[in-house]
Amino acid sequence: MKVLVLYDYPPSPGGLATQGDLLYKGLLEMGIDAHAVHFESAQEKEWYYRWFEPDIVVGVGYWGHTPQLVLHSLRYGAQPVPWLVADGFIANYQEVLNALPLILVTSNWVKEMYVRDGIDGSKIEVLPVGCNTDSFIPFDKNDQKIMAVRESLGISHDQIMILTVGGDAASKGAQEVMQALALIDSKAPDWKYVCKVWPQPRTKLQNLADLELASQLGIQKNVTYATNTISRNFMPYLIGACDIYAAPSRLEGFGMPQVEAGACEKPVIGIKAMGMLDTLIHGKTALLAKVAQKIVVNQVVLGEESGFKSQHKIEFSEPRTVDYRASVNDIAKHLLNLMTDAGLRQEMGKAAREHVVQHFDYRVVAKRFVKIIQDKFGII
């Protein structure tokens, strides 16, 4: 079997790049003849099509990347298999995607979104994102590298560190977490809430809004926003330094940081919806807050990035859910339980590690990918 993997290569620290890179790594370790190339590099992709002649071209992205992941491969007679995430609404390329024999998606919720928006469900297989469980491991709290992370964030040894990681924090549910922390502040042990966000123009405005909320809630001294650029090498230690990973996300097709936190034996607070229903087990590996609100829209405006002309408006016959909000009261209850019970944190963390190793280790995902391809195409 010869596989060409299209993603953000060489990998940046982002989720899609990590998703592709771990599949590539897993395939190589299985002895599969595989190569990786940047999904937007037309000339290099063509070069591989001409001399490598891959059996399968698996491309990581979302539906808007169909030209790069699917159409370009078809142009050179290669068999594309897109591995897609969702962003709330699949607005274009239904005809192209429905003509494919196989589409991979990251969770059952993502599959539901594609089916809802016109993609043939019989073509879709769920393949979860892999996790490097050799890097994301449990760390001792007295490990020098873990202590150094906490010291750099101004967190003492006995404080409870709650962590959220994302491109921005609000989309990961940070505002709901802050509201919950304000509710329980007088009952909870000494705590600090750290939001690790990616430095980019749009997040600067969001960070200011989030910090303004923290100030209004009176918890600003306990909230830290870390906005430095970091590598994937640092992530296991950042997660390893926390006591609780909190991300009741507003939109989540899989939830890679939640899975990585589990691999580090950290209990997770999530939302009882979307991709987290596949990755987290309420009461065992995580505590999931109920959905308090669904954000629905009657129309969307898209542009060239989605294959339309600028300011293209799409109106829905029925309103579409594009965002979720977790119950603040549920988050508060779950946080207080975990913050006041070290034994519960340890118990859930160990169960989470076991679950991740069994179901989401990148080698497990690579084997599952190969089996899906063999079953669908008969390629050995």
Q: What is the pLDDT of residues 18-44, one digit of tens each?
A: 999 999 999 999 999 999 999 999 999
* Higher pLDDT, residue 194 or 310: 194
Query: Which pLDDT does position 345 carry in this prediction?
Result: 98
pLDDT for residue 154 is more than 90: yes
Same fold across 2-130+361-377 and 144-290+327-359? yes
Q: What is the CA radius of gyration of the chain?
A: 21
Q: Can you give the length of the chain in residues? A: 380
Say which CATH class 2-130+361-377 falls into.
alpha beta
User: For the residues 112-135, what does the mean pLDDT come to?
Assistant: 96
**What's the whole-number mean pLDDT along residues 265-278?**
97
Instruction: Name the average pLDDT for the chain.
Output: 95
Query: What pLDDT, in 10s, does the model give residues 64-74?
Result: 999 999 999 99
* The residue type at 313: K
- Of 89-93, 187-191, 323-327, the poorest mean pLDDT is in 89-93
pLDDT for the residue numbered 176: 98
Q: Is the pLDDT score of 13 beyond 90?
A: no
Domain 144-290+327-359 = CATH 3.40.50.620: no
Q: Is 87 exposed, middle or buried (0-12, 13-18, 19+ CB in 10 A)?
A: middle
Confidence class of residue 310 from pLDDT cuts 50, 70 and 90?
Answer: confident
pLDDT at 200: 78
Question: What are the C-alpha distances in Å from 290 to residues 16, 276, 282, 325?
Answer: 27, 12, 11, 9
Indicate if the pLDDT at residue 45 is higher than 90. Answer: yes
Q: How far is CA 367 from CA 69, 148, 235, 290, 373, in A?
A: 22, 37, 25, 34, 10
- pLDDT of 350 > 90? The answer is yes
Pairing mode, strands 244-246 and 2-7: unpaired
pLDDT bracket for residue 216 (50, 70, 90): very high
What's the pLDDT at 202? 74
Query: What's the confidence (pLDDT) of residue 297?
Result: 87
Lowest mean pLDDT among 79-88, 201-210, 246-255: 201-210
Least Cα distance to 288 among 173, 194, 190 occurs for 173
Q: How large is the average pLDDT for residues 341-364?
A: 98
Name residue 136's amino acid.
F
State yes or no: pLDDT of 86 exceeds 90.
no
pLDDT at 277: 97
Q: What is the mean pLDDT of residues 143-163?
A: 97
Picking from 96-105, 157-166, 311-320, which range would have the lowest pLDDT averaged per residue? Answer: 311-320
What is the pLDDT, as a whole number, of residue 321? 85
Least confident segment among 58-67, 133-142, 296-305: 296-305
Residue 307: per-residue pLDDT: 79
**Closest to 3 (Cα-Cα) out of 361, 359, 379:** 379
Share of residues in the chain with pLDDT > 90 (%): 84
Closest CA to 110 of 133, 129, 95: 129
CA angle 243, 249, 250 (to 5 degrees): 160
What is the model's pLDDT at position 9?
97
Give the pLDDT band (50/70/90) at residue 135.
very high
Confidence label for 326 from pLDDT (cuts 50, 70 and 90): very high
Residue 302 and residue 311: Cα distance in Å, rounded? 6
**In this predicted structure, what is the pLDDT of residue 380?**
81
Confidence at residue 320, expressed as pLDDT on a 0 to 100 scale: 82
Ranges of each domain in the chain: 2-130+361-377, 144-290+327-359
